[in-house]
Amino acid sequence: MTMIKRVAGAIIASANRRDSDEDMARAAIAAMREPTPQMLKASGGWLDTPEIWQAMIDAALEGTDA
């Protein structure tokens, strides 16, 4: 599944639950937690492990700008 389809599905599911705008944004960001093979390839080795990307997404979901 492409990242676009994954995020679109999360947004639609969130909208169907009548979530707030912020909750829909969180659902979209959470849907991006698992990098696609294309993303890993495009990183040129920067994302050798998905854990790096997942930690960045987790930080975004915490909502802090520290």
- pLDDT tens column, 8-45: 999 999 999 999 999 999 999 999 999 998 988 898 88
Q: How far apart (Å, rounded) are the C-alpha atoms in residues 41 and 34?
A: 14
Residue 30: per-residue pLDDT? 97
Confidence tier at 2 by pLDDT (50, 70, 90): very high
| Residue 49 DSSP label | S
Contact yes or no for 27/57 (Cβ under 8 A): no
Task: Give this prediction's pTM.
Answer: 0.82
Confidence tier at 64 by pLDDT (50, 70, 90): low
Domain ranges of the chain: 3-62
Q: How far apart (Å, rounded) are the C-alpha atoms in residues 35 and 33?
A: 6
Residue 1 pLDDT more than 70? yes
